[in-house]
Amino acid sequence: MVESTYARRHEIHDYLSTQKAAIKNDVPPAKEWIEMEDLIELLKPLEAVSVDCLAFKSSTFHLVLAELECLRSHLEAFNEDYAKAHWICELAKDMLAKLEDCLKLSWKTPGVRIQVPMITRLLDPSIKDAYLPIVESRTAASTMLKHIVPLYKNVPK
């Protein structure tokens, strides 16, 4: 909707300018149209990632991770673009922080901290152990998985 509104900004401007009374004063200034363009530029990759991930019946984590890395790069670049409106850069900064938090997801069980992205990669059959090429890291991951398995032994069906 925002994108189609922006695409028709000249028509909207012309229409609102010809009206009477209060609506005539509601013509968005050029600055607001530029901010709308920046907002579209910020959100466009989110739409692309959503469409890509929905294209697969069941996206595995390694496919989604590549998309999230592209999104992270986009948000980092956008966050540092001082030509954009300040509030949009702040929005990009907040989105980047939330994305970083999601990629660091972990949970604690007594005596061990389990990183969710690592586990999802290890359980993805298309990756196998390519994610952990060093023997020590595979051993540590194996130990971590051993802590997870008991959590699912008594799950009601």
Cα–Cα distance for residue pair 15/24, rounded to 1 Å? 9
Is the pTM for the entire model greater than 0.75?
no
In the prediction, which pLDDT does 11 show?
85
Phi-psi group of 40: left, alpha or beta (phi > 0 → left; psi -120 to 50 → alpha; rest → beta): alpha
pLDDT in tens, 85-120: 889 999 999 999 988 877 776 555 555 555 666 667
Q: What is the pLDDT of residue 147?
A: 73
Gap between the Cα atoms of 9 and 68, Å rounded: 32
Mean of pLDDT values over 49-75: 78
| Angle formed by the axes of helices 30-55 and 61-79, nearest 10° | 170
